[in-house]
Amino acid sequence: MTVTSVRKDPRALTMTITAEFDSPIGPVWQMWENPRLLEKWWGPPTYPATVVDHDLTPGGRVTYFMTGPEGDQPRGWWRVIAVEAPHRLEFEDGFADEAGNPDLEMPTMTTRVTLTEQIDGGTRMAIEATFPSVEAMERLAAMGMEEGIRLAVGQIDDLLRAAA
C-alpha cells in the first residue's frame, strides 16, 4: 500500500491523503503534467477519463470527460489556481455540461497537491481536498447517485430486453 496516512476533518470538510512512491519527484510530477498519463489514473476502469485541454498554468484549464459503461460521458474541468513544478499544484475541480462548459449550478471542490522529495530518493505526495459546504458534498454525492441510478436503469433495460 502506498497510502501512508488519511486525515479527515468533517468540520473543515477536508480530507488529506498522503502516499509515498519509490520514484524520483520528476516522474511523479509527470503523472499530473502529462495529460496522457493523467488520464490513465484519474478515472476508474469503468469510467476511463479522456483529457481534452490541459493547461497547467495559473488560471489555466484542464477539461476532461469520462466514458461510462452505458456510453454516458460525464464531463469535468479544473481551474488551475497555483502551480510550482514539480512541487505544488492547486486547482478547483467542477462539473461541466455536455458542451464542456462549467456547470455553474454544481458545486466545486478544491484540491491541493504537494510533492516532497524524501531522503531515500522517493517522493511523498499529499492531496488535500476541501469542499465548500456540506450541501456541496451532498450534491456531489447526489450526482454519484444519479449515475448509480443510470447504471441500475441500464441493467433493468437489459433485463427487460432479455425477458422479451
Partner 1 sequence: MEDSAFSAGPSEGDRAKRDGPTQTRTRFGIAEQPGLIYNHMVVDSDQADRVFRALADATRRDIVRRAMRGEHSVSALAGQYPMSFAAVQKHVAVLERAHLVIKQRRGREQLVHGNIDAIRDAQHLLDEFEEVWRSRIDRFGEVLAEVNEGATT
User: Are 66 and 74 spatial neighbours (Cβ–Cβ below 8 Å)?
Assistant: yes
CB of 22 to partner 1, least distance (A): 8
Give me 14's grid cell: 477536508
Residues forming the site for partner 1 (CB under 8 A): 2-3, 6, 8, 10, 13, 15, 17, 19, 21, 23, 27-28, 30-31, 37, 40-47, 66, 69, 74, 76, 105, 125, 127, 129, 131, 134-135, 137-153, 155-156, 160
- Nearest CB to partner 1, comparing residues 3 and 82: 3
CB of 75 to partner 1, least distance (A): 10
- Nearest CB to partner 1, comparing residues 58 and 104: 104
Angstrom distance (rounded) from CA 138 to CA 145? 10
CB of 152 to partner 1, least distance (A): 4
User: Are 124 and 118 spatial neighbours (Cβ–Cβ below 8 Å)?
Assistant: yes
- Nearest CB to partner 1, comparing residues 61 and 124: 124
Angstrom distance (rounded) from CA 84 to CA 10? 29
Neighbouring residues of 153: CB distance < 8 A, sequence distance ≥ 6: none
CB of 55 to partner 1, least distance (A): 21
Pairing between strand 75-84 and 88-96? antiparallel
